[in-house]
Amino acid sequence: MSLSASSASRRYRSVLPMASSTPDVLLIGGGIMSAHLGAMLKRLDPRLAIEVYEAAPELAGESSEGWNNAGTGHAGLCELNYTPPPAVAGGPVDVTKAVEIFARFEQSRQFWSYAVTHGLAPRPAGFIRAVPHLSFVRGESHIAFLRARHTALVTHPFFRTMEFTAERDVLHRWTPLLVEGRGTEPIAATKVDAGTDVNFGELSRQLLGWLGAQDDCRVFTGHRVTQLRRAGAGWELTVRQTESGESRSVRAPFVFIGAGGGTLPLLQATGLPVARGLGAFPVAGQWLVCENPAVVARHFAKVYGSPPRDSGALGGPHLDVRHLQGKRMLLFGPFATWTTKFLHRTGRVTDLPSSLRPDNLATLLRTGLHNRVLVRFLVQQALQSPESRLRALREFYPEARADDWRLVDAGIRVQALKKADAGRLSFGTEVVTAPDRTLAALLGASPGASVSAQIALQVITTCFPDRLRTPDGYAQMKAMIPTFDLDLTQFESAADYVRRSGRIDDPLELRRAGRCE
Ligand SMILES: Cc1cc2nc3c(=O)[nH]c(=O)nc-3n(C[C@H](O)[C@H](O)[C@H](O)COP(=O)(O)OP(=O)(O)OC[C@H]3O[C@@H](n4cnc5c(N)ncnc54)[C@H](O)[C@@H]3O)c2cc1C
């Protein structure tokens, strides 16, 4: 029988095991990335001994926690930053990035379906919901762009159900809060009903709960990895139990650093060439939250607006219906704020200063100089008053009342800065590996949790290629992610996939697989 999240977390060891262990695979961090990699590897090769070390007292309490991210299943349906405005006004909109994100998210959905039907994540109602994804714009030039974007997207099989409207009565039906109390300003929106809201924290806990119950696998909370060094053909880690302060060593031939904001310092400790010159750029977030039932009951979508000028690749604000801690509520934001911490809960203000090295100072300075406009935007965001946040909310929801909203902290995105980027900031995610493939780490935070299955797949393809070459391994991976060896970004493959699977328009197909509400 499956365990509830709380009873599952009680099973995690919070004391150091007496005998020293030598797992085959050691995962640092108990967030969505380690959860996917651990679960996928164990299914691929059930003989693998896997250990997970999480510093915090509970699993997935950092960026993967429901409150700390927007919970958007990023599929390119509503995020306007994935379809940049054309260089020439009236030109075609490039949808390459939106198609790519959709294809990557589809691999996550495939894996989640597998996880539900095979008991790895047995409670889909706890982690995924169907929520329409809308893009919302104001003003004639933005409407022209949205129309052109819709025209470009709707011809692709992935986006064939996307609707566009500039009609007030239709908009009112789709999203009444955004229309009521608005003057005659022209507005428009697109809508895709097959969007999703995902509680990545709950999904992580389900997957890690399953992993921790498998033979030769253990998941430890309250255990911080403090040091990482070469040992023979693999790695030796120092792990400190946070409660007792006791430390011990663990050796493993393969290590994955899935420590979110804590990844950079650990990667720096490896001394690998890939870490040389790496710097970090943390951006914290905040949400306005509304729990007034009368307001909450009137908004049933995720509505993404245009990214503000100067915000670079950070993306636009959005007004979302969310389901957190068993409650329906609205979140608006994120508002960016300055921080020098790399982790929301267990980070320290000294994280950024401690990450400075002679080899990354130039990278940081060059990034600051290249992104003066973004830096100015972040300073403005950090200096926002309650009134200016309310003004931003009222651009979406004109009749919003200050009393209905409170400000809460979201998670922290730590973007890795590389020498090779010459000061450019992409806010992407990137898997880096040791040359001998004994270690992999995930840098960056966007599109983040939505593409965690594809990130795990990338680590497996790079570091465990032999496991996929055996007939059993190949068949197992095909079962977990049927399109793992197909390129769905190619139009023909996408069209064929949509024709055969018929599942694009059904975000809850995996919930039904789990026979949930
Ligand atoms: C404001 C905001 C909004 C976002 N919105 C979305 C969204 O809508 N959709 C989406 O897909 N993604 C979104 N993301 C990104 C997404 O949340 C992250 O990409 C994802 O959760 C990262 O998962 P992770 O497992 O790598 O890291 P985390 O969830 O941060 O997990 C890392 C874990 O490692 C632990 N750790 C750190 N250091 C150590 C150590 N030394 N030893 C042991 N353990 C350690 C931490 O305690 C933590 O639990 C958003 C992020 C933010 C900040």
Tell me the average confidence (pLDDT) per consecutive run of 10 residues in the chain, 517 residues long. 37 51 94 98 96 96 94 95 85 93 95 95 93 96 95 95 97 97 95 95 98 97 96 94 93 96 91 85 90 97 86 76 94 88 86 84 77 72 83 95 95 78 66 95 84 96 94 95 93 89 68 42
Q: Counting Cβ atoms within 10 Å, is residue 399 exposed (0-12), middle (13-18) or buried (19+)?
A: exposed
Specify the pLDDT at position 424: 64
Ligand 1 mean position to 344 CA, how many Å? 9
Specify the pLDDT at position 360: 81
The reply to whether omega before 447 is within 30° of 0 (cis) is yes
Q: Which of 36, 62, 343 to mutate to test the pocket of ligand 1 (most atoms within 8 A of CB)?
A: 62
Catalogue the E-assigned strands of 325-400: 327-338
Q: Which two tokens stand for residue 102?
A: 């959709």
Contact 396, 136 (CB under 8 A): yes
Q: Which of 54, 69, 105, 220 to mutate to test the pocket of ligand 1 (most atoms within 8 A of CB)?
A: 69
Atom of ligand 1 minimally distant from the CA of 53: 43
Specify the pLDDT at position 314: 61
Specify the pLDDT at position 469: 92
Q: Residues lining ligand 1, judged by CB closer than 6 Å?
A: 28-34, 53-56, 60-64, 68-72, 74, 200, 224-225, 258-260, 262, 266, 285, 334, 343, 346, 410-413, 442, 445, 447-450
Ligand 1 mean position to 445 CA, how many Å? 7
pTM assigned to the model: 0.92
Contact 329, 291 (CB under 8 A): yes
Q: Which two tokens stand for residue 454?
A: 């594809």
How far is residue 517's CA from residue 109's CA, in Å, rounded to a whole number?
A: 18
Ligand 1 mean position to 442 CA, how many Å? 10
Ligand 1 mean position to 346 CA, how many Å? 12
Alpha helices in 118-237 (DSSP H): 140-154, 168-174, 176-179, 200-212
Specify the pLDDT at position 7: 40
How far is residue 378's CA from residue 374's CA, in Å, rounded to a whole number?
A: 6
Atom of ligand 1 minimally distant from the CA of 260: 27
Specify the pLDDT at position 18: 40
Q: Which of 13, 63, 111, 458 to mutate to test the pocket of ligand 1 (most atoms within 8 A of CB)?
A: 63
Q: For residue 390, how many other CB atoms are within 10 A of its CB?
A: 17
Which residue in this structure is represented by tokens 């007939």? 471
